[in-house]
Amino acid sequence: MDVIAYRDHLLDVCKRDPKTVDTKITLLSAVFGAAIGDGKLPANPAARIRIPKSKTKRKRLPFETRELQMIFNSPIYTEGLRMKGGKGEAAVWLPLLSLFSGNREEELGQLRVWDVCCQNDIWYLNILETDEDNEADTKLKNSSSWRKLPLHPKVIEAGFLRYVERLKEAGYVRLFPELTPDKYDIFTSSWSKWFHRYLRNRIKITSRLKVFHSTSHNFRDACREAGLDEEIADKLMGHKGSSDAAGRGYGKGFSLEKLKEAMDKITYPGLEIPIIETEQEG
């Protein structure tokens, strides 16, 4: 049952492709097989675990501007409402940060207070490099695994740095202290479920093609509208880009200043982002 739960978590929570899950279960089965050979186990619990066949994924859709405004006009932003499942300020900042960076919720949810940095008057996040097919990579701690993501001016204007300063004064380690890892060491698994309930039930955005990850689609479209080069858009979003692109693996990459210049070009015409001031339980 533990192996089945692991399979379901990879498929339903981590959204891994069935082929990736099949590889992971096969490797796990090999480990248990070795244990049987050493007399440590009587049977292989990962043997004959059924993995559903890959299906053509329905493409997620970006939010319309009016839907984004519905999100940012909701009580979490305008009335300081904080719901238990929203995990405090994570409910406020994860959607906003993703809209202005294109990053996944786990990349943002696992951040620590000191991952918010300033260099040459440029505020940025230290984002851990991840492999979309290997959630274990999110736990690498070597310095080469990090990339610098400039904060968008709208995020700063909304009060993000004030929020970070309050956390520092209170002695917190995590940027979103109420997010705690599950047994698979994933910080945002339960939060993600809450957000989609909030999206459907409170905000009344009911399309199943519009989810948290839709903000990444919005950001990519905003990159296109801003005329950003694909390579720099990939860097902002933490995507590897095409392996066929000549020269992608050469050099040190973009400077923080260049990334900041690109980030500042991102706009969402007609969208108003509120200033985040108050909070209350609800």
Q: pLDDT tens, 68-109? A: 999 999 999 998 888 899 999 999 999 999 999 999 899 999
| Averaged pLDDT for residues 189-199 | 94
User: Who's near 233: CB < 8 A, 6+ residues apart?
Assistant: 220, 223, 224, 239, 262
| Averaged pLDDT for residues 191-205 | 94
Look at residues 15, 31, 57 and tell me which one is the last residue of a structural domain: 57
Q: 140 pLDDT band (50/70/90 cuts)? A: very low
Q: What is the pLDDT of residue 23?
A: 87
85 in the same domain as 193: yes
118 in the same domain as 167: yes
Q: 129 pLDDT band (50/70/90 cuts)? A: low
Q: What is the pLDDT of residue 137?
A: 40
Q: What is the pLDDT of residue 58?
A: 62
The top-scoring range by mean pLDDT among 19-33, 142-156, 222-236 is: 222-236
106 in the same domain as 195: yes
Q: What gap in Å lies between CA 119 and CA 117, rounded to an integer?
A: 7
189 in the same domain as 93: yes
DSSP type of residue 137: G
252 in the same domain as 141: yes
53 in the same domain as 69: no
267 in the same domain as 132: yes
Q: What gap in Å lies between CA 95 and CA 154, rounded to an integer?
A: 13
pLDDT at residue 133 tops 50: no
Q: What is the pLDDT of residue 57?
A: 56
Q: 281 pLDDT band (50/70/90 cuts)? A: very low
| Residue 259: CATH number of its domain | 1.10.443
Q: 147 pLDDT band (50/70/90 cuts)? A: confident
Query: Which residues form the domain of 209?
Result: 65-281
69 in the same domain as 52: no
123 in the same domain as 16: no
Q: What is the pLDDT of residue 145?
A: 54
Look at residues 35, 57, 79 and tell me which one is the last residue of a structural domain: 57
Tracing tokens 């690498």 back to the chain, one arrives at: 140
Tracing tokens 């985040």 back to the chain, one arrives at: 276
pLDDT tens digits, one per residue of 199-231: 999 999 999 899 999 999 999 999 999 999 999
pLDDT tens digits, one per residue of 30-59: 999 898 888 888 989 888 888 877 655 567
Domains identified in the chain, total number: 2
pLDDT at residue 247 tops 70: no
86 in the same domain as 48: no
In percent, the amount of the chain with pLDDT more than 70 equals: 86
Q: What is the pLDDT of residue 131?
A: 47
182 in the same domain as 159: yes
Instruction: Report in angstroms the alpha-carbon separations of 17 from 6, 20, 96, 98, 271.
Output: 14, 5, 27, 22, 34
Q: What is the pLDDT of residue 249?
A: 54
Burial status of residue 105 (CB atoms within 10 A of its CB: 0-12, 13-18, 19 or more): buried
More confident site: 36 or 131: 36
Look at residues 57, 74, 89 and tell me which one is the last residue of a structural domain: 57
91 in the same domain as 176: yes
